[in-house]
Amino acid sequence: MTYQTFDTVGTVYLIHFETKLAHAQHYLGFTTDLEQRLKSHSGKNGSKLMNAVNENEIKWSVSRTWTKPKSFERELKNCANSPVLCPVCSGEKAYNRKK
């Protein structure tokens, strides 16, 4: 595993869940290898939330990505408003937010 700092550039990604799990309908993450990270999320090596989503057989998909530093992921998480960034939830307007 490589060490990532807040200025490490990679992919910030937003996953949309087809149905909510408790209060959650999105997962926001950062990686330098999106393909490998999505494989982890599909298996048992992802985050606790993604593991729970998979255990409950909730379908999910990547709805949006940004090529940005890790600090951008923190900025988005601090906003705590993933639905407005998600094109599945907010339509095309989402692409005009947080470019």
Computed on alpha carbons and rounded to an integer, the radius of gyration of the chain in Å comes to 13
Domain with 58 in it: 9-96
User: Where is 42: in which H helix or E strand?
Assistant: helix 34-42
Give the closest residue to 9 by CA, choosing from 28, 29, 31.
31
Instruction: Please write the tens of the pLDDT for every residue from 64-82.
Output: 999 999 999 999 999 888 8
Tell me if the pTM is above 0.75.
yes
CATH of the domain at 33: 3.40.1440
Count of structural domains, the chain: 1
| Between residues 64 and 83, the one the model is more confident about | 64
Task: With respect to residue 17, please indicate whether it lies within any of the assigned structural domains.
Answer: yes
Instruction: Please write the tens of the pLDDT for every residue from 23-53.
Output: 899 999 999 999 999 999 998 777 899 999 9
pLDDT score of 80? 81
pLDDT score of 2? 57
Task: With respect to residue 66, please indicate whether it lies within any of the assigned structural domains.
Answer: yes
